[in-house]
Amino acid sequence: MRNTINTTENEETDITNNFGTLYHPKSALVFYETEDYNPDGYVEHFDIDRNGNPINSHPLTLREAQRLSKMLNIQNKKDKDFLRPSGVISETILLIDTSENGKVVWYTKAQERHLLFTEKLSIPNGLANVPPLVWCANKQGMKIFALETDQRPNTDTPLFHAPFFNVYESGSVCMGTVDVNIKSSASLEEFTKKWENYFFNSYFSHLVNSHNPIKGNLVILWKSLIDSKEPFPTDILINSNLTLKNLL
Q: Which of 193, 170, 168 is nearest to 182 (CA)?
A: 193
Tell if the pTM clears 0.75, that is, is over it.
no
For the chain, the average pLDDT equals 86
Q: How confident is the model at residue 209 (pLDDT cuts 50, 70, 90)?
A: very high
Rounded (to 5) percent helix, strand, coil in the chain: 25, 30, 45
Q: What is the pLDDT of residue 30?
A: 84
pLDDT, tens only, 117-141: 999 999 999 999 999 999 999 999 9
Predicted pLDDT at 63: 76
Spatial separation of the C-alpha atoms in residues 131 and 109, rounded to whole Å: 7
Q: What local confidence, expressed as pLDDT, does residue 29 receive?
A: 83
The β-bridge relationship of strands 103-108 and 111-117 is unpaired
Instruction: Indicate if the pLDDT at residue 200 is higher than 50.
Output: yes
Report pLDDT for 8.
44
- Tell me what the mean pLDDT of segment 146-175 comes to: 97
